[in-house]
């Protein structure tokens, strides 16, 4: 059985720090500036052999006017609804504020198990503080310091005790689905990544506003529809280095890069209005460098839907020329907001995921490729008395991604243009749609 623990509280009480300590890695961004966490962030924890999920949430505020704050509140309420146990964090150094009392009122009405966690007890003297946290109305309370870990063991012991006493019936969670393919939605800021995730799930799982950079963390959600199961990952927008002014944005960009490293297929979203820009090409190269599957999504195409079909063909042709010789990347024209064209994304992503695992038999590879090399050999070496460069044998390396070795008499003289020629022929004859391939030359 899987259990869910949600961490709630006002801004800057240490929720993300506690979350990172419970999951054992820096998954949520921690910063002295309040309001950094905006969406719900899932993590996996284990204590005394019992596994459970942890949800970090944005800070609850009293503001009623700000659009973003309203969305954050909705996500906190959803995290409360999903939870089996709620950790209500307060700051011992700040004492009880009006916002703490407002949160306490909401939690008392939710009929959930709530543990009051008094955080930032970095000094023993704070344990005997005069602050009367009993006024919040919770029986179970714990003193700890999420930054140095003191007191977290007692809290975890209590959680396990609750789990063992209460056999909560929960459906399979993301934690139990780590074997599933991971599809990451990446791209520049404000191209519609979070909107696409919400459209897939048919609910507002991720915060969406017109404010660029709303998503600051990489966020995992489980997708189970139409016979497909996968983990969908929303990521912060990747800006140009020259435009990364806040160190928070730097951490967000680094989080996206790490997400790419741990994903299977990247869904690169491009704003149809802004077009394919240099930063899109940089992100594409980053995905290719990490040997991940890729699909290009041209978003907001509903704005051009009634224009002649030649525009779509020209748009696609322009991108394929830019990414050559990796020309057979699926390019889909969609509207994440209106759900136009999105029904094909997951099936094609799953297909690309399968193509990444393609393993060609050596005899078949040589049967196809050797006649091509004989008909179109590499350029001769002039300073070697016009000796011909020949490729006698080729094979696919057993690895997690498609890699090929070609054995030649003079591998060091084979030009980059011929490497692209070989990649082009492999893509033409074999199914590596949307999958980067690596080619190596070795001495025969």
Q: Is the pLDDT of residue 327 over 50?
A: yes
Query: Which has more pLDDT, 172 or 121?
Result: 121
8 A C-beta contact, residue 54 and residue 28: no
CA-CA-CA-CA dihedral for 314, 289, 373, 355, to nearest 10: -80
391-405 mean pLDDT: 92
The sheet carrying 41-47 orders its strands as 41-47, 50-56, 4-8, 85-91, 113-119, 141-143
Picking from 280, 271, 288, the residue whose alpha carbon sits closest to that of residue 329 is 288
1-20 mean pLDDT: 85
Residue 163 token pair = 């789990």
Which of 101-110, 253-262, 346-355 is the least confident region? 253-262
Please give the Cα distance from 56 to 80 (Å, whole number): 11
Task: Label residue 404 left, alpha or beta by phi (over 0 means left) and psi (-120 to 50 means alpha).
Answer: beta
Give the helix/strand (H/E) hosting 369: helix 362-375
Residue 401 exposed, middle or buried by CB count within 10 Å (0-12, 13-18, 19+): middle
CATH ID of 362-443, from 3.30.300.20, 3.40.50.12780, 3.40.50.720, 2.60.40.10:
3.30.300.20
Res 208: pLDDT: 42
Picking from 184, 278, 196, the residue whose alpha carbon sits closest to that of residue 232 is 184
Same fold for the domain at 4-165 and the one at 362-443? no
pLDDT tens track for 31-58: 444 444 444 577 788 888 888 888 888 7
CA angle 73, 86, 22 (to 5 degrees): 105
Please give the Cα distance from 62 to 54 (Å, whole number): 25
Residue 25 token pair = 């890695």
Return the CATH superfamily for domain 4-165.
P-loop containing nucleotide triphosphate hydrolases (3.40.50.300)
**Cα–Cα distances in angstroms (integers) from residue 262 to residues 29, 206, 292, in the given order:** 18, 21, 9
Please give the Cα distance from 76 to 55 (Å, whole number): 10
Res 276: pLDDT: 92
CATH of segment(s) 179-355? 3.40.50.300
Please give the Cα distance from 382 to 208 (Å, whole number): 61
pTM of the prediction?
A: 0.59
DSSP per-residue codes, 175-234? GGGTTS-EEEEEESTTSSHHHHHHHHHTS--S---SSTT---S-EEEEEEETTEEEEEEE
- Helix orientation angle between 278-289 and 310-323, rounded to the nearest 10 degrees: 50
Domain boundaries, the chain: 4-165, 179-355, 362-443
Q: Is the pLDDT of residue 331 over 90?
A: yes
Give the helix/strand (H/E) hosting 265: strand 265-271
Q: How many other CB atoms are found less than 10 A from the CB of residue 180?
A: 17
Sequence-distant (6+) residues with CB within 8 A of 159 are: 3, 5, 47, 52, 85, 115
8 A C-beta contact, residue 148 and residue 122: yes
8 A C-beta contact, residue 376 and residue 427: no
Q: How much is the mean pLDDT over the chain? A: 79
pLDDT tens track for 262-318: 789 999 999 999 999 888 888 898 889 889 999 999 999 988 866 666 888 899 999
Tell me if residue 64 falls in helix, strand or coil.
coil
Residue 16 token pair = 């993300």
Query: Which has more pLDDT, 78 or 348?
Result: 348
């Amino acid at each position: 059985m899987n259990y869910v623990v949600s961490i709630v509280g006002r801004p800057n009480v240490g929720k993300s720090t506690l979350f990172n300590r419970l999951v054992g890695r820096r998954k949520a961004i921690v910063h002295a500036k309040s309001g950094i966490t905006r969406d719900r962030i899932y993590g996996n924890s284990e204590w005394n052999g019992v596994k459970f999920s942890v949800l970090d949430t944005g800070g609850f505020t009293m503001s009623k006017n700000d659009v973003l704050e309203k969305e954050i509140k909705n996500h906190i309420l959803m995290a409360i609804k999903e939870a089996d146990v709620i950790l209500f964090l307060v700051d011992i150094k700040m004492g009880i504020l009006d916002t703490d009392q407002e949160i306490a009122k909401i939690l008392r009405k939710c009929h959930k198990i709530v543990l009051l966690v008094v955080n930032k007890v970095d000094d023993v003297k704070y344990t005997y503080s005069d602050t009367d946290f009993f006024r919040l109305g919770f029986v179970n309370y714990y003193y700890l310091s999420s930054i140095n870990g003191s007191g977290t063991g007692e809290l975890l012991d209590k959680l396990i005790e609750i789990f063992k006493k209460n056999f909560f019936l929960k459906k399979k969670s993301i934690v139990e689905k780590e074997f599933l393919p991971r599809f990451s939605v990446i791209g520049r800021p404000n191209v519609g990544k979070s909107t696409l995730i919400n459209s897939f799930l048919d609910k507002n799982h991720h915060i969406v506003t017109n404010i660029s950079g709303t998503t600051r963390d990489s966020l995992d959600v489980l997708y189970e529809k139409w016979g497909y199961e996968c983990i969908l990952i929303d990521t912060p927008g990747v800006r140009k280095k020259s435009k990364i002014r806040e160190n928070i944005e730097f951490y967000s960009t680094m989080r996206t890069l790490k997400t790419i490293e741990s994903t299977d297929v990247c869904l690169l979203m491009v704003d149809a209005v802004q077009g394919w820009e240099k930063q899109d090409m940089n992100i594409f190269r980053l995905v290719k460098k990490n040997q991940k599957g890729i699909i290009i999504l041209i978003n907001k195409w509903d704005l051009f839907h009634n224009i002649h079909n030649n525009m779509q063909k020209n748009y696609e042709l322009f991108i394929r020329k830019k990414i050559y010789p990796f020309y057979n990347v699926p390019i889909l024209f969609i509207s994440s907001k209106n759900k136009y064209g999105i029904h094909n994304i997951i099936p094609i992503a799953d297909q690309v995921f399968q193509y990444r695992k393609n393993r060609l038999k050596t005899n078949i590879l040589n049967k196809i490729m050797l006649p091509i090399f004989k008909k179109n050999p590499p350029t001769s070496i002039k300073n070697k008395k016009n000796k011909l460069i020949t490729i006698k044998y080729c094979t696919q390396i057993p690895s997690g991604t498609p890699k090929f070795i070609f054995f030649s008499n003079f591998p060091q003289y084979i030009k980059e243009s011929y490497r692209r020629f070989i990649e082009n022929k492999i893509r033409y004859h074999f199914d590596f749609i949307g999958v980067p391939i690596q080619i190596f030359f070795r001495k025969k």
